[in-house]
């Protein structure tokens, strides 16, 4: 009788052991699948971030016989007191405001114009989106010939109208705005895609209800469409700010930060400190400051996006 009773108990324990093994396998199997991605993320994202933060705390120069020495926050104080960094920061703020506002307005207008599925809208979408397909270096080279003083395309047509033109890239009062014009032309069509997607997510019943209540086109845009597009606008602002701080190819091609540092942006300042002045600690400190400002603004925009999403829901 003892042996007969033990057999069913052992048979019942066998499936339970299999279930336990399957449960353990289910716990580590997702991590095994994610391991390659996590490894590359750590090597090429988090490790460089840590390296930049560590470098910002040391004073080191390329080619110097002296070893790198710990300096604490000295590099940060040096960067914040540097007139060139202050000028680059002001230039970046002007560049950000001058780029964001017209680009977002144009992107929204483009999206409103082409949101319907018609042949004309398809053609306009292609025309508006085409500049975003052009590499920034190629676009800067194209605008270099447009901005050439006297013989450039812009000066040629202004001359036919009897209008005088400044030196678009050589005048310190105008050069930054020329760079802004290039950026607006390049990015408006790209941001248009996000607004088209946002417009398609607006419930048609809401717009129809506003029309029944007697709201005209501007009232529907201001009181219905724009509030519904708040999450989209917040997302576009984050993407645009990242582009503002990371795109510097056009500055390198057109002005190299000149004239008189009028177009010297933060990323180009970092490039100069690292590769021209060989001051890696100072360049790392400027990088940390720039990323911290970008993160603060991005977090604010993301919170706005979340509040807009909850309000729309």
The pLDDT tens digits of the residues spanning 150-207 come to 888 898 888 888 888 889 999 999 999 999 999 999 999 999 999 999 998 888 788 8
CB contact at 8 A, 83 and 97: no
pLDDT confidence of residue 305: 64
User: Are 163 and 248 found together in one domain?
Assistant: yes
Checking DSSP bridges between strand 69-70 and strand 58-59, what pairing results, if any?
Answer: antiparallel
Per-residue pLDDT of 257-299, as tens digits, reads: 988 899 999 999 999 998 888 888 999 999 999 988 888 877 8
- Smallest CA-to-CA distance from 295 within 232, 245, 253 is with 245
CB contact at 8 A, 267 and 290: yes
**Residue 93: left if φ>0, alpha if ψ -120 to 50, beta else—which one?**
alpha
Residue numbers of the domain that contains 258 = 73-312
Does residue 92 belong to any structural domain of this protein? yes
User: Are 157 and 26 found together in one domain?
Assistant: no
Does residue 65 belong to any structural domain of this protein? no
- Rounded to two decimals, what is the model's pTM? 0.82
Does residue 62 belong to any structural domain of this protein? no
User: Are 168 and 136 found together in one domain?
Assistant: yes
CA pseudo-torsion sign 168, 103, 191, 265: positive
- Smallest CA-to-CA distance from 312 within 230, 235, 238, 234 is with 230
Q: Rounded to the nearest 5°, which phi and psi values hold at 84? A: -65, -40
The mean pLDDT value for 253-259 works out to 90
User: Are 279 and 308 found together in one domain?
Assistant: yes
Question: How many domains is the chain built from?
Answer: 2
Tell me the C-alpha distance between 187 and 128, whole Å: 10
Q: Is the pLDDT of residue 216 over 80?
A: yes
pLDDT confidence of residue 286: 93
pLDDT confidence of residue 75: 92
Tokens 């930054």 locate to: 176
Tell me the C-alpha distance between 57 and 63, whole Å: 19
Does residue 66 belong to any structural domain of this protein? no
pLDDT confidence of residue 156: 87
User: Are 111 and 208 found together in one domain?
Assistant: yes
- Smallest CA-to-CA distance from 290 within 80, 100, 84, 99 is with 80
Query: Binning pLDDT at 50, 70 and 90, where does residue 308 land?
Result: low
Query: Binning pLDDT at 50, 70 and 90, where does residue 116 land?
Result: confident
What CATH number has the domain bearing residue 78?
1.10.3720.10
CB contact at 8 A, 72 and 90: no
The mean pLDDT value for 236-241 works out to 89
Which H or E element spans position 73? none
- The more confidently predicted of residues 65 and 237 is 237
CB contact at 8 A, 79 and 270: no
Half-sphere exposure (Cβ direction) of 195: Cα atoms closer than 13 Å: 28
């Amino acid at each position: 009788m003892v042996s007969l009773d033990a057999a069913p108990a052992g048979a019942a324990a066998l499936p339970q052991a299999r279930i336990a093994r399957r449960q353990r396998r289910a716990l580590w199997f997702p991590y095994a699948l994610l391991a390659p991605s996590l490894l590359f993320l750590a090597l090429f994202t988090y490790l460089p971030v840590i390296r930049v933060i560590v470098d910002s705390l040391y004073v080191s120069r390329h080619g110097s016989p002296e070893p790198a020495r710990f300096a604490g926050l000295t590099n940060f104080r040096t960067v914040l007191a540097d007139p060139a960094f202050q000028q680059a920061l002001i230039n970046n703020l002007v560049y950000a405001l001058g780029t964001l506002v017209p680009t977002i307005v144009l992107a929204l207008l483009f999206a409103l114009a082409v949101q319907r599925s018609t042949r004309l809208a398809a053609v306009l979408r292609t025309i508006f989106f085409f500049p975003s397909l052009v590499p920034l270096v190629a676009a800067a080279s194209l605008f270099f010939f447009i901005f050439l003083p006297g013989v450039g395309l812009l000066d040629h047509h202004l001359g036919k109208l009897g209008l005088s033109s400044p030196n678009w890239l050589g005048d310190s009062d105008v050069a930054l705005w020329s760079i802004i014009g290039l950026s607006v032309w390049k990015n408006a069509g790209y941001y248009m895609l996000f607004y088209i997607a946002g417009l398609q997510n607006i419930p048609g019943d809401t717009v129809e209800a506003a029309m029944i209540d007697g709201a005209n086109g501007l009232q529907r845009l201001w009181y219905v469409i724009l509030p519904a597009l708040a999450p989209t606008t917040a997302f576009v602002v984050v993407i645009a700010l990242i582009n503002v701080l990371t795109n510097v190819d056009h500055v390198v091609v057109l002005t190299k930060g000149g004239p008189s540092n009028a177009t010297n942006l933060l990323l180009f300042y970092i490039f100069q400190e690292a590769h021209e002045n060989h001051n890696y600690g100072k360049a790392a400190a400027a990088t940390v400051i720039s990323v911290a400002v970008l993160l603060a603004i991005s977090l604010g925009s993301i919170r706005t996006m979340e509040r807009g999403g909850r309000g729309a829901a």
